[in-house]
Amino acid sequence: MGTIQELVGGLAGRFRILSFSIPMKITKITAWQVDLPLHEGNYKWSGGKSVDVFDSTLVRVETDAGVTGYGEACPLGPVYLPSYAKGVRAGLSELAPALIGEDPTQLGKLNQVMDQAMKGHPYVKAPVDVACWDVLGKVANLPASDLLGGTYGEDFVLYRAISQQSPEEMARNVQGYREEGYRRFQLKVGGDPDVDIERIRQVAAVLQPGDKLVADANTGWLKHEAMRVVRAVRDVDVYIEQPCLRYEDCLSVRRNTDHPFVMDESIDGIPEILRGEQDLAMDVVNIKISKFGGLTKARQARDLCVSLGIAMTLEDTWGGDVVTAAIAHLAHSTPTEFLFTSTDFNSYVTRSIAHGAPQRKNGRLAAPRTPGLGIEPMEEILSGEPALEVG
């Protein structure tokens, strides 16, 4: 047995977070624009919306201690949520000057500073917050998942989003992804109700016991259309996700079906989760990191849902390797019974932007076990012309 001094020294070496006491300061914030083409060529969802190439923003936060962190924000085009790719970079040009000199390891205070400097626009703040979690993990010498609540199990389950096509094509795509190991599928519906009914039925016919099917309308149905669909598929084991634009219309559909119900676009903060719980509006809620403003606030929402007994899909609007790493750490630090599913967006795109990013295996994913997010952006990205430099 070693001496007390040896024991204390060993603990200090293992848990470096206990040993830093000098405040760290943000000295520079840099952003790069990155195009992320899709393997399938494009991605389609309700209302004829589609994206061919995702416009993502990689953010680097530098400190006076020589520790650097990275985050990423990638809106799903300008027509999904009140966010758009160029808005990330425009917002950062306004926000970043207020953050120079702040301590990136004091996440609560940092988020308050961001909220005071810019009202709303959580998708602008998210990559900065994520980058600061990356910094904190590196300082603590711990994976972000450990700091977000502890790492549960060896890995976690993923879903595959199925771009909106004909019923036959969607069924074939589900079969193909099932062969790759996926067991949870999110069908993009929200179009013609008659076609959507056939989409749900044809895909359900190719599933196996243990598979889960979600019909995600992405707000695309009017209330009467949603009512028709849920009545027509009463005999199908399917989750119904965000059928209508308004919360009240979704609630009306919820009260007229016994299908398990998922809320997404209507839920963008703690008050909305509490309202949904009070109204018994959902069985599952989707928490997107950039929609909530980063890992700090997404974790708050996650922990509230655990306390309320609500299962979750933990994800983001879209992104590449850095977004996927952030999602992985949040999902892997969630009690397994409350994690309905998560996703691996870097497998949808043809371009890698970081080393060490998590990669799916048999329809499952694990967060990196190295400090922080566990990723390192590729030199070809960092050597490109920055879209923004402050500090």
Task: Report the amino acid identity of residue 129.
Answer: D
- Strand-pair partners of 37: 53
What single-letter DSSP state applies at residue 139? H
Among residues 49, 125, 138, 288, the one annotated as catalytic is: 288
Q: Which of 275, 334, 340 is nearest to 312 (CA)?
A: 340
Distance CA 161, CA 138 (A): 33
- Listed in sequence order, the residues at least 6 apart from 286 whose beta carbon sits closer than 8 Å to its beta carbon are 241, 262, 263, 264, 267, 312, 313, 315
223 is catalytic: no
Strands 364-365 and 156-157: antiparallel
Structure-token pair, residue 32: 């790069």
103 alpha-carbon distance from chain centroid: 25
Is the distance from CB of 215 to CB of 238 less than 8 angstroms?
yes
Among residues 188, 212, 223, 297, the one annotated as catalytic is: 188
188 is catalytic: yes
End-to-end CA distance of the chain: 50
Q: Count other C-beta atoms under 10 Å from residue 374's C-beta.
A: 23
Task: Tell me phi and psi for residue 303, to 5 degrees.
Answer: -65, -35
> Residues, the chain, total?
391
Q: Which of 127, 124, 161, 185 is nearest to 38 (CA)?
A: 161
Active site residues: 188, 288
